[in-house]
Structure 1
Amino acid sequence: MNKVMLIGNVGKDPDVKYYDADQAVAQFSLATTERGYQLPNGTRVPDRTDWHNIVMWGNLAKIVERYVHKGDRLYVEGKMRYRYYDDKKGQRRFIAEVYADNMELLTPRSAANTAADPTSQNTNAAANNANQNAASSSNASIASTEDDDQLPF
């Protein structure tokens, strides 16, 4: 079995397509980088970035559609698959893909929201105000309930 585990950054927003009875497939590229280093003799070896084609099916594809965006850092686990096709010029092209069966978003949601939507700070502020107002009103109702418990009747 060709099990693959990758940690990298999404190269572009996922391309999600639907077929047969609400089934989905998502495809996107993932960049992994091996950091450069310096050899004992002083030779500098530069960073090396590889690009991987990621394919996700079903519910995982739907999750990717909602939460994964260009630049997000992901952990992807899956199996290597190889296929080929003949292009318009008759040249045989080979493609290596990772058919993912597990994924974890490593980008903090607050950073992803801010990067993806500059207006999200206003939306988040409004949501926080609404949560604080709800908490204040629920605290007020708890306080009035506690006062009612001390009534003699």
Structure 2
Amino acid sequence: MAGVNKVILLGRLGSDPEVRSLPSGSKVTTFSIATSEAYNNKDGQRVEQTEWHRIELWDNLANIAEQYLHKGDSVYVEGKIRTEEYTDKDNIVRKTVKIRGTSMTLVGGRASNEGSAESGSAMPAQQQRPAPVRTAAPAPEFNNNTGSDDSDDLPF
């Protein structure tokens, strides 16, 4: 049985991206984004819950992130969950979860300066918003045909 490993996130950067160039010539950019949801708890109090996600982008996406992303920017990321093990300085094996981004779309400006001239960047227009969602099949058509061929008859 095949599985699906797909993540879709829309959030704000918690810090500027960190960029590393590898000896192989590849480039990797990492950053964290926050996603939040708000709800009312059982006592009726409004609660906001924030989750932090560690994002990893490679090569061309890493170059785009390095050039255009800054702390506070909104970004839409699609990718895959990756769990990695490492040994820390105390020789303890630990696990970390990252999102390996496969596509990214820059969304709007910074949280604190939206709408100001300073928050605008020279990014292409197609990178400013997520692509529209398209359905795989067209929506079914409603047909209220009762069998008569009276074309002047309106269904309302």
* TM-score bracket relative to the smaller structure: 0.5 to 0.7
Question: Where does structure 2 lack aligned partners over 5 or more consecutive residues?
Answer: 122-156
Change (3 A) 1:14 1:116: farther
Task: Look up the SS of the partner of 1:35 in the other structure.
Answer: strand
**RMSD over equivalenced CA pairs, Å:** 2.4
Residue pair 2:19, 2:28 contacting (<8 A) in 1 also: yes
> Take 2:68 and 2:57, find their aligned partners in 1: how far apart are those partners?
14
Do the aligned partners of residues 96 and 113 (structure 1) sit closer, same or farther apart at CA in structure 2, a change above 3 Å counting? farther
Q: Give 1:98 shift.
A: 0.4
Q: Deviations over 1:91-138 (max 9, x none)?
A: 221110000010111124884861499xxxxxxxxxxxxxxxxxxxxx
Structure having the higher Rg: 1
Q: Aligned equivalents of 2:89 and 2:28: distance in 1?
A: 25
- Counterpart of 2:78 in structure 1 is 77
1:38, distance to aligned residue in structure 2 (A) = 5.3
Corresponding residue number in structure 2 for 1:6? 9
Distance 2:60 2:117 in 1: 22
- Comparing both structures, which one devotes a greater share of its residues to helix? 1
Which region of structure 1 is more displaced relative to structure 2, 50-59 or 100-109? 100-109
Structure 1: 4+ residue segments shifted above 4 A: none
Q: Which one-letter code corresponds to 1:2 in the other structure?
A: N
Instruction: Give the TM-score normalised by structure 1.
Output: 0.67
Alpha-carbon distance in structure 1 between the residues aligned to 2:14 and 2:109: 17
> Contact between 2:82 and 2:100, CA under 8 Å: does it hold in 1?
yes
Percent identity between matched residues is 37
1:49 aligns with 2:45: no
Residue 27 of structure 1 pairs with residue 30 of structure 2: yes
Aligned residue identity for 1:114: E
Distance 2:24 2:96 in 1: 28
> Structure 1 counterpart of 2:118, which letter?
T
The verdict on how the C-alpha distance between 1:12 and 1:108 changes in structure 2, with shifts beyond 3 A counting, is closer
Note if 1:107 corresponds to 2:111: no
- Output the CA distance in 2 between the equivalents of 1:18 and 1:88: 23
